[in-house]
Structure 1
């Protein structure tokens, strides 16, 4: 009887069941799938980062690092002294003030050498003005005020007697202006690229009203 009581008071320790091969295989497979999902997720993150970098670099190249040709234009022309002849005695001697504007749309300065702006009538130079070397800053416009004198002294007799006489009779004298700036655009203080800025303007001068209708390409 005492033996039975002792057996009930001190039960035997439970035995641990060893996992079966199927359970081990399932656990291993689950770990492999988890690692595979982590690798896929990491690959997606890396691919997204690369795509983002490519977009940033492309946008940077197309905006900041893209070198544009600066533009040269004349500003408002103000007549100061106007002397003209007529159809019988065609001539002109005119002085005016204007601004040479160098517009730089680049993300870096444009440094240019000195040059001359030429003023012509029917392809013949009738006046010129010097543009000193200078710099148009980061996305800005450099303005140079100049005083110009033009006259018909250099025109051949055939031009003055026909075309010039007709224009003076009509009251509109048309001049043209040309200039070419040679310089370099500097980007990021490292990259330098040569750029030539050209000016081509037409200047119809209305003699009766002393108004200049300026058109620049």
Structure 2
């Protein structure tokens, strides 16, 4: 039995269209929609509160303002979470982060209060050395779980892992940070 010429042409055109669509989607995904790591910048750190308790406990609260820039073509909605801060490997602070959405190719300012356990900070063996150097280095780690939406069509779970090294300068009472982030679908 012979296949009609028109059916052969239809089959070839269909195969070419399918291959073209697959290649187009693959190129779009790899070139345009490929997840990129967000850029996180510490804008400011301010001393919000310091208190000395009746049993000589010291509590310090720092106000922090971070800017998160999302270079992806997907908006990212994340859940409530907590940033953990350590000083020379010992946990010294926690900062609550409220749920929010970072728009596609946009940025969002995130402000939070950092509750530092100053007793743990002072008890660290390297604290005196760092005070003498007039700089305290902290490490912050945060995991944001949420959903990414590409073109309001594709919704997928995504997670951002962020680690920041925060240097607080005692003399000038300001801070700088260097952050590394990984974005995973």
Do Structure 1 and Structure 2 share a fold, with TM-score over 0.5? yes
Pick the aligned partner of 1:77 from 44, 57, 67. 44
Alpha-carbon deviation of 1:82?
Answer: 8.8
Query: Relative to total residues, which structure has the larger helix share, 1 or 2?
Result: 1
Q: How far apart are the structure 2 equivalents of 1:112 and 1:70?
A: 15
Which stretches in structure 2 are left out of the alignment for 5+ residues? Answer: 1-8, 51-56, 181-185
Aligned-pair distance for 1:107? 2.1
Match for residue 116 of structure 2?
A: 150
Query: Hey, what does 1:61 align to over in structure 2?
Result: 29
Deviations 1:90-110 (A, max 9, x none): x97644322233332222321
Tell me the secondary structure at the aligned position of residue 138 of structure 1: coil
Q: 1:176 to 1:82 in 2, by over 3 A?
A: farther
Query: TM-score, normalized by length of structure 2?
Result: 0.70
TM-score, scaled to structure 1: 0.61
CA RMSD of aligned residues (A): 3.4
1:202 correspondence with 2:165 = yes
Tell me how far 1:53 sits from its aligned partner.
Answer: 5.7
Indicate the residue corresponding to 1:104 in structure 2. Answer: 70
Does 1:183 find its partner at 2:125? no
CA deviation string 1:106-139 (max 9, x = no partner): 2232111110011211222222111111211122
User: How far 1:173 sits from its partner (Å)?
Assistant: 1.4
Contact 1:80 1:96 in 2 (8 A): yes
Q: Which deviations, in whole Å up to 9, do the C-alpha atoms of 1:41-75 show, x marking residues without a partner?
A: x9xxx7xx868766644432324443x15526242
Whole-Å separation in 1 of the counterparts to 2:132 and 2:49: 15
What is the alpha-carbon distance in structure 1 between the residues aligned to residue 178 and residue 33 of structure 2?
31
Query: In structure 1, the residue corresponding to 2:172 is in which secondary structure?
Result: coil
* Greater Cα radius of gyration, structure 1 or 2: 1
Partner of 2:136: 173
Change (3 A) 1:65 1:130: same
Contact 1:72 1:199 in 2 (8 A): no
Which structure's residues are more often strand, by fraction? 2
Aligned length in residues: 164
Matched, 1:211 2:174: yes
The change in CA–CA distance for 1:106 and 1:81 in structure 2 (over 3 A counts) is closer
